[in-house]
Structure 1
Amino acid sequence: MMRRGSTTVIRSILTTTTSPRGFSTGADKAVVTWWMRSSGGAARNASTVALGADKEEQRKEETVVNGGGEERKGNDNKEITSYWGVPPSRLTKEDGTEWKWNCFRPWETYQADLSIDLKKHHKPTTWLDKFAYYAVKSLRLPTDIFFQRRYGCRAMMLETVAAVPGMVGGMLLHCKSLRRFEHSGGWIKALLEEAENERMHLMTFMEVAKPKWYERALVFTVQGVFFNAYFLAYLASPKLAHRITGYLEEEAVHSYTEFLKELDKGNIENVKAPAIAIDYWRLPADATLRDVVMVVRADEAHHRDVNHFASDIHYQGRELKDNPAPIGYH
């Protein structure tokens, strides 16, 4: 049997000979070894518990110092410590289930307004409007030839282009706001919101249409050309750039209308809606591809209105910052 007084002595020695960070010193280990040899199994158990407590305390201390961040690696959950102490957020849905999307958050979801007028059209009157209109129309011909009636792939290509104007416009307005030390009237947020919404369209249709290697290569080419061309157009004339985007969104509305017709005819299978679309647009659990196309088309119509509105502001000789931006319009 181990005497109570001896246990107290060992505990006292362990306490006084432990380094500030919780590591046992050489004297500590020597005393424990001697006691194990002289006191048998009970002493071994006591020393094991003491050293185990030391290691647990050390682990807790390092977790506190390093921030205690956790990261998912493979199929196992492993605790990853980080000096910066930035823990991942743990979010749940309204029903209590885990939120599995990292690309958007629950408060960024919404129910699309399907009552928007899909037939609205800005009739080109000035030569700048006509240039924008026919420039967009000229892009439709090669698209029709390349994709024909493969509307899933067409939608994928469309969204890789449609997400560019909002990002370019928001970026240039951001830089302008910094240079002039002035507010943007909310237009930076509105345009970046548009770009993010278009990107979510792409993430959705990536689940529906699996692009082939040459279609991915085409995206590289088209996006590279369009980004630089639109960047220069926005620098030269924001009213032209927004008008181009307005007409581009009109074409998007037309494309998704044709998509719906093919779905209704049965030429395209009306498969179950991707999970990411159900959560992003707050669709019912049994939603289908047709429901997804409906809400995406409504989004495009809202973007059409915003960009034609922005172009009209410039045509009236005013600046965007002087007119409240339609944040959250979609």
Structure 2
Amino acid sequence: MSNLATKKLSGLLLKQLGPHHLSSTSAFHTSISNATAENSKPMITGLFRTFILELRNHSTLSSDELMKPVQTSSHSAQGKSEDQKDQKAISSYWGIAPKKLTKEDGSAWRWNCFMPWDCYKADISIDVKKHHKPSNFMDKFAYWTVQTLKYPTYLFFQRRHVSHVLLLETVAAVPGMVGGMLLHCKSLRRFEHSGGWIKALLEEAENERMHLLTFIEVARPKLYERALIFAVQGMFFNAYFLTYIASPKLAHRIVGYLEEEAVNGYTEFLKDLENGTIENIPAPAIAIDYWCLSPDSTLRDVVTVVRADEAHHRDLNHYASDIQCQGLELKEAPAPLGYH
């Protein structure tokens, strides 16, 4: 190819690319200006190779980034170290970054399992002795089912209240999640609202889980207790799932009686704390923040607010069962949201 033809081809290619694509690449211009007739074939090959490289760079980098001068290795290393210092602990391509939360006193919020707006002061004035008297076959079936299930656990744990609580809370957090999940699916299938009951039941499940996270700070279950928890939770989840599908009002009544027994269990826990059988240690930090307790609170204070929570769950589930026993659906009565 003659020298004139080479220059014409190069000029046409430059016009097509324009200054935007080639303004940042000096090598491309140099290859054109230094072209000669003797190395025309290698020059054209290099020309197209550079062209492809430019297009690929523009598909991933902005023009401003391409305009930046090339730094030496020492400057690159220095720049990388500065970027690492400025980089957050957790970075995300999606731009999601955790907010820096603080408590009312200005100190940093230390929990990821719950946020400051999840905290509340428990209503300990609730009647912890209230009992729903069985009035029909369904109520009696639910009551005696719970009574039958409670005796093996009482015989196993006896006065080891913390270990008993760990088992109780891993089971108590199941009904709210199962009920909320099934109501959620029902709402999707029927294209209807739930009256707030999905959120109410999920709130219950989350509250029970926080009970567990609190008592984990007091004692850790032994290996055989973990095995028991694993087995009991697995059986209870599936049994409650099937029960709720068959009869939601029976499922809620069973939970109501389970919560009554939980209230009784925490009452016995408090008696042993008060008479010195169990040491009244300082309250875990997670409990102080979750229930907005005073910094000098003790385990007795924690058990008191947890018992109040269980009493509220008792009332909520008996109320849910009563609604359905009257021939109504849960969505027809507003759910007591925030009723811990």
Could you give the per-residue CA deviations for residues 91-122 of structure 1, whole angstroms, max 9, x where no partner exists? 00011100000000001100000110111100
Q: 40, 44, 65: which is aligned to 1:21?
A: 65
Letter in 2 for 1:307: N
2-structure distance, mates of 1:52, 1:187: 57
1:89 lines up with 2:99 in the alignment: yes
Deviations 1:129-183 (A, max 9, x none): 1110000011111101110100011111100000000000000000000001110
Task: Name the amino acid aligned to 1:218.
Answer: L
- Report the equivalent of 2:272: 262
SS of 2:217's partner is: helix
- Work out which of the residue numbers 81, 101, 115 in structure 2 matches 1:105: 115
Which letter maps to 2:88? Answer: E
The separation in 1 between residues aligned to 2:324 and 2:24, in whole angstroms, is 77
1:162: which partner in 2? 172
- 1:70 maps to what in 2? 88
Within-5 A mapping of 1:1-330: 20-21=64-65, 51=75, 55=79, 59=83, 70-71=88-89, 80-330=90-340
Deviation at 1:81, TM superposition (A): 3.3
Structure 1 consecutive aligned stretches of length 4 or more whose deviation exceeds 2 Å? 15-25, 51-56, 68-71
Task: Tell me how far apart the structure 2 counterparts of residues 251 and 149 of structure 1 sit (CA, whole Å).
Answer: 15
Cα distance in 1 for residues equivalent to 2:77 and 2:171: 59
Q: Distance in 2 between matches of 1:232 and 1:53?
A: 61
Distance 1:143 1:98, change over 3 A: same
Matched pairs, number: 282
Higher CA-based Rg: 2
Contact 1:22–1:55, Cα closer than 8 Å, also in 2: no
Q: Following the alignment from structure 1 to structure 2, what is the Cα–Cα distance between the partners of residues 227 and 135?
A: 15
Secondary structure of 2:93 counterpart: coil
CA-CA distance at 1:17 after TM superposition: 6.4
The whole-number CA distance in structure 1 between the counterparts of 2:293 and 2:254 is 31
How does the TM-score come out when normalised to structure 1?
0.80
Classify the secondary structure of the residue corresponding to 1:208: coil
2:192 and 2:213 mapped to 1: Cα distance? 34
Please, which runs of 5 or more residues in structure 2 have no aligned partner? 1-22, 27-62
The residue identity in structure 2 corresponding to 1:286 is: D
In the TM superposition, what is the alpha-carbon distance from 1:21 to its structure 2 partner?
2.7
> C-alpha offsets along residues 34-73 of structure 1, whole Å, 9 cap, x if unaligned?
xxxxxxxxxxxxx97xx469947x959xx9xxxx9733xx
| Aligned CA distance change for structure 1 residues 69 and 297 (closer, same or farther; 3 Å) | farther
TM-aligned CA deviation for residue 88 of structure 1: 1.4
Q: 1:69 to 1:194 in 2, by over 3 A?
A: farther
CA distance in structure 2 between the aligned counterparts of 1:89 and 1:136, rounded to whole angstroms: 44
Corresponding residue SS for 1:179? helix
